[in-house]
A and B are shown apart, each in its own frame.
Chain A
């Protein structure tokens, strides 16, 4: 049976068909749906781990114990998991272990666009790259076989276009794979230097064997056509090449590391002009050039962003076959259109926090989550955003560089899930090294940006089972923060008062602003409306950056009733009682 699946759904299906027993992840676009879908199969244990390092450690534990394990994360997540990954390459596995790295060329939802094929080379593990959903499923299964055959973790590297595109997939049944025997083997699994040194030799020997395997595996294949143009490519770019250069000869690399030197040399000898077409870094190109093979690549195609079909067409297609916009100027012109950046949702509890921080004119170190949008106009309330968990550490550093007085005009903001991910350790640092940092944990009761995943503060597992709920206030106290306050962010004056008090305190403090994400709030409240007579056009409400509040031509405001969720924040900031519940009295 064929089913239309995203690449992520197909990877989850592949894991199931491969007899996987444990799936772990921390959510991150574009990887999230892998584990969400894996959780739907009763045969597989699945979890949202507190962060990617833990996800990999749980996965490798399952593998060492003899079961097959799938660990999924976005590209930057691999940075968090890199420590166990590099050593896992030394120990090897027992049951198969596959690490999915979902990269994001074009940065549709990421803070950088790193090319994680480099991780395969650096950690010395094989990397497979599927080009559509069918391959995503098949390569997942093959990756488990490879993992066990070569006693190595395997990276399955996808990109956003593979992860989030749907294509048809032929389904198969699950093959139950018996849990392998576990035997204590300290020389293999305890990486003290004396044990690790011989393991490094095993790793290098394995790389040799994998290089030999790469020459003959069906993962790498030549599609002969006109030999005047030869193209080496992988992943989604293969599809673009097939689309715009149907006449070209192609070496499709399903295995991106290690590369098949002989196969590439043979291909290079038989074509007139050789191109490497790859997104982001010259990963293939550098290696191929190092072998002394002449090839064109990044001199023709960009180092950044998604590599789109029309770019390949414009450079390499015969002029009569180029896609229209590049053959001649496009006949239809897009007029200047204002951009439509993402916004904090109507009713978002973070809006109240950033409105207040903007009002107080404090420096705000930010973090990764929906609340990063607090950096945009009109809230303009975030100064830095680096990576998951960085906000508190950044604030400590600012204070250490500029002094305690500066810390009185500075806060760190971090979400509930992000705080658990990697915010707790810098908070410990703040206590231990005597910073006076004020930390706002924006607790909206869910991991919101990636689409509402449970986390240790929500009280539910990925499969919806009730579990122990972490109390953030008790946790902060336990690491030594004596000043911990909890406030509803919509209680604006109380929120402002508490922030002022904690900024003044000469010790670390934590303020938990607690209110559910507007999209999981149950029950709709009546929308608010603006009294034309009472509205003075002061535009104070516009400073909230609520997409429902619109400035009229007469300078007064109105509220879009279709979008308004009735949170009432605008009524709270209106000094003239002009904003009221629809059909009701003053708010």
Chain B
């Protein structure tokens, strides 16, 4: 197998996963790697399970990642982390935003939210990192910057130049939100000691 990096970004529609994948792809492109991104958006604007897949390296063919092949799963929500766990490579890293968003079957009582999703993941996966992304985003000045907090965290696990991340964020987010987003990125970056 050729040397590729496979990143799975999972969450709930409306959380900003797609923007996050675009920033990551932008960083990779800037350093001259081949990159493919696959995103599927379905029937509604909000609330569904969303997954975007980013693959980069010298030459990328398929835009999607097979089960067991993700180097990193960046999960915006706990249940989604659990749902996609089987995509993680043995010894891969799973980075989880400690947030619970109930899907409709749980809201209506037709299904139960897993009691301790993170413990269940940790039991199987040694490289689990949990972050209070929402709390960090609020501290940075805007609850909606969770996705950039998580990008900051992801950046610590990837061998890509930090300044390039900041440049791409600068190019991607509107000027009036730039300060908040740069703070959010630093919060994620600094969450790994």
Contact = CB atoms under 8 A, between A and B. Distances in A.
A80 B69 CA distance: 41
A514 B67 CA distance: 45
Interface stretch (A40-48, A276-284, A328-336): A328-336
Interface string B102-130: 11111111111110000010001100000
A211 interface: no
Contacts of B79: 337-338, 340
A240 B66 CA distance: 10
Residue in A29, A323, A339, A342 with the greatest tally of chain B CB atoms within 10 Å = A342
Contact of A345 (B47, B64, B124, B134): B47
A545 B108 contact: yes
B190 interface: no
Interface stretch (B86-94, B148-156, B158-166, B178-186): B86-94
Nearest to B47: A343
Nearest to B125: A332
B140 to A, nearest CB: 15
Interface string A527-551: 0000000000000001001010111
A236 B89 CA distance: 24
Interface in A233-249: 236, 239-240, 242-244
Contacts of B110: 338, 377
Contacts of A335: 82, 85, 114, 120
Interface string A294-324: 0000000000000011100100000001011
Contact of A165 (B36, B47, B124): B36
A161 B143 CA distance: 32
A339 B62 contact: no
A318 to B, nearest CB: 12
A239 B63 contact: yes
B83 interface: yes
A161 B47 contact: no
A325 interface: yes
A547 B41 contact: no
Given A335-B114, A335-B120, A341-B48, A164 B68 contact: no
Contact of B69 (A161, A323, A542): A323
A449 B34 contact: no
Contacts of B86: 325, 330, 332-334
Given A324-B67, A340-B48, A343-B48, A242 B61 contact: yes
A332 B37 contact: no
Given A108-B40, A340-B49, A547-B47, A334 B84 contact: yes
A323 B65 CA distance: 10
A191 interface: no
Interface in A325-376: 325, 330-335, 337-346, 370, 372-373, 376
Contacts of B1: 321
Given A165-B38, A165-B63, A332-B86, A338 B113 contact: yes
B48 A334 contact: no
A112 to B, nearest CB: 14
A161 B64 CA distance: 9
Interface core residue of B22, B35, B41 (most chain A CB under 10 Å): B41
Contacts of B43: 109, 342, 370, 372-373, 449
B139 interface: no
Contact of B40 (A164, A332, A343, A373): A164
B39 interface: yes
A168 interface: yes
B82 to A, nearest CB: 5
B85 A334 contact: yes
Interface string B52-72: 000000001111101111000
Nearest to B79: A337
B174 interface: no
A4 B45 contact: no
A340 B36 contact: no
B46 A343 contact: yes
B135 interface: no
Contact of A343 (B44, B83, B113): B44
A308 B125 CA distance: 25
B13 interface: yes
Given A324-B68, A337-B114, A519 B45 contact: yes
A166 interface: yes
Contacts of B40: 108, 160, 164
A235 to B, nearest CB: 12
Contact of A373 (B44, B114, B120): B44
Given A332-B85, A334-B84, A324 B12 contact: no
Contacts of B88: 332
B123 to A, nearest CB: 10
Interface in A1-35: 2, 4, 29
Contacts of A132: 36, 63
28 contacts: A2-B29, A4-B37, A161-B64, A165-B37, A165-B38, A165-B39, A166-B25, A167-B35, A243-B62, A323-B68, A323-B69, A324-B69, A325-B66, A332-B90, A334-B83, A335-B82, A337-B82, A340-B49, A340-B104, A341-B105, A342-B42, A342-B46, A343-B46, A345-B47, A370-B43, A377-B104, A378-B108, A547-B102
Interface of B: 1, 12-13, 22, 25-26, 29, 34-49, 60-64, 66-69, 79-80, 82-86, 88-90, 102-114, 120, 124-125, 134, 143
Given A160-B40, A449-B44, 19 more contacts: A109-B41, A161-B64, A165-B39, A166-B36, A240-B62, A242-B62, A310-B67, A323-B67, A325-B86, A330-B67, A330-B68, A337-B114, A338-B112, A340-B80, A340-B103, A345-B45, A378-B108, A542-B108, A551-B107
